[in-house]
Amino acid sequence: MVGVRPMFLADWTGALFIHFRADRGALSRVVPFDLDLHDGDAFFSLVAFTQRRLRPSIGGKLAAWMSAPLAEHAFLNLRAYVRVNGEPGIYFVSEWIPNRLAVLIGPRLYGLPYRLGAIQYENPTYGRVAAPEGQLIYHARPQSASKLAPATSGSLDHFLLERYVAYTSRRGVHRCFRVAHEPWPQMRVAVELGDTSLLASAGTWARDAELIGANFSPGVHDVGISSPTRVLTRVEYPSYAS
């Protein structure tokens, strides 16, 4: 939580994380930063959640009223795992949202790869995202004896969930922003994918990836979101052999 001066605050609720193991070389070709690996493997995730009460961190009720058109809507994020200057983070490959105004503002302000999509969530059990490029449909259920708790440090769940800096790339400009919130209260869930044409539209690296599991969290509140800053391009970082 230290080191983030929030530009915005928000609640992120009903979050389902669906994880995939990807071909390391193929994924590296679509991510402009070095991949962060766990036991030598590369991963990406789909994260389905709803943002509520987005508001500026200053300005009180007036600022919240002015930001109301952006305050609440669902997201589907396609994110990869990166490490920049030794720090773990995420890189947003694609994001689908139903809010047209946010689609106009988010890419310009944060470099976010927003695309329009119709979203229906009943997390943790069901979700459907429909966009011009395809659909994603999933069904999920808690695994037996699963209980909500933060992921154990050092585990794969912790690697995939506990990330507090995000990177974007738009028109050759690379940006990052930080978030601050309590650790995700989470539990493992079993997930079955129906129509995955939306995932396949990202490329063969996504279509051919291996589904490895999922986590559900009821959410985190009063998330601090920093302003964006520009970062170095990938060629200025050491690369690894794929």
pLDDT of residue 187: 96
Spatial separation of the C-alpha atoms in residues 24 and 27, rounded to whole Å: 5
Domain regions of the chain by residue span? 6-233
pTM: 0.92
Q: pLDDT (tens digit, 9 = 90+) per residue, 50-75?
A: 999 999 988 777 767 777 787 899 99
For residue 234, is pLDDT > 60? no
Q: pLDDT (tens digit, 9 = 90+) per residue, 112-121?
A: 999 999 999 9
| CATH number belonging to the domain at 6-233, selected among 3.40.50.2000, 3.40.50.720, 2.130.10.10, 2.40.400.10 | 2.40.400.10
Spatial separation of the C-alpha atoms in residues 138 and 52, rounded to whole Å: 22
pLDDT of residue 63: 66
